[in-house]
Amino acid sequence: MNDSSQRVAIVTGAARGIGAGVATRLAQDGMAVAVLDLDEAACRPVADAITAEGGRALAVGCDVSDPAAVEAAVTRIADELGPPVVLVNNAGITRDNLLFRMGVDEWDAVMNVHLRGAFLMSKACQSYMTQAGMGRIVNLSSTSALGNRGQANYAAAKAGMQGFTKTLAIELGKFGITANAIAPGFIETEMTQATAARVGMSWEDFRAAAAAKIPVGRGGTPADIAATASFFAREEAGFVNGQVVYVAGGPRD
């Protein structure tokens, strides 16, 4: 069913972690949600949970760095759910290494998912948003944008997301489209669990060490980021444009 009164959101990298939390929250806010990730089957539990709660959701398999796949996915979402007016560019990977050990493949992989992916998804969705005269683009940056040892690729990509966001805000504002970025600090997901494993720490020790450095005394959760995305996606947030909000339990990390 295509209910034209219901806003349609796309959340990338939504099969798990922060993306799954954002998709679930936007559905609770009343939106129809495309749960997009590399593997469509992995998206289904998130989409099914939304449907079970009475919402509308579509599981979509797509590599956000592949132009043809992005075009096909966004067209399918527009056909099956309705024209997308909210886009959350959340898909992400890490390929951490010190600069002298970092391979070109590790540099390119991170740039491709974060920057090329956000570029392709935003480009594919903006025509639906300009036609609707309303749009909300929310990009996931990171406190790593301020610099982080072992993350030259990721830090550059996440700083790039901030420049990308501010430029979209300037170009698209006149069409009723806002673009804002969320820069999370330490959020408890499989991504940070993988980092713990990489540095040889148990998850509990890693998590406790992170919490000890965070002013509010705990690690963040996907729900913390979802609440911020929910605010940016609201119609009443239409005068908030080109901003970066650090959601890190303190002023930065």
| Catalytic residue ranges | 154
Complex with ligand NAP: residue 2 or 213, whichever CB lies closer:
213
The b/e string for 44-81 (b: 16+ C-beta within 10 A; e otherwise) is bebbebbeeeebbbbbbbbbbbeeebbeebbeebbeeb
* Residue ranges in contact with ligand NAP by CB under 6 A: 12-13, 15-19, 37-39, 63-65, 90-93, 113, 117, 140, 142, 184, 186-187, 189-192
Smallest gap from residue 62 Cβ to ligand NAP (A):
6
Element housing 135 (H / E): strand 135-140
Smallest gap from residue 167 Cβ to ligand NAP (A):
19
Beta bridge partners of 10: 34, 87
Complex with ligand NAP: residue 134 or 201, whichever CB lies closer:
201
What amino acid is encoded at 55 in this protein?
G
Q: How far is CA 71 from CA 12, 13, 117, 209, 220, in A?
A: 14, 16, 12, 42, 33
Complex with ligand NAP: residue 142 or 165, whichever CB lies closer:
142
Smallest gap from residue 36 Cβ to ligand NAP (A):
7
Edge-to-edge order in the sheet of strand 32-37:
57-61, 32-37, 8-12, 84-89, 135-140, 177-184, 244-247
Smallest gap from residue 225 Cβ to ligand NAP (A):
7
Handedness of CA 183, 188, 189, 191 (dihedral sign): positive
Paired tokens of 134: 């309303």
Cβ proximity of 237 and 136 under 8 Å: yes
Paired tokens of 3: 């209910």
Complex with ligand NAP: residue 111 or 237, whichever CB lies closer:
111
Complex with ligand NAP: residue 37 or 241, whichever CB lies closer:
37
At 22 the three-state DSSP class reads helix
Nearest to 238 by CA among 168, 164, 179: 179
Smallest gap from residue 78 Cβ to ligand NAP (A):
18
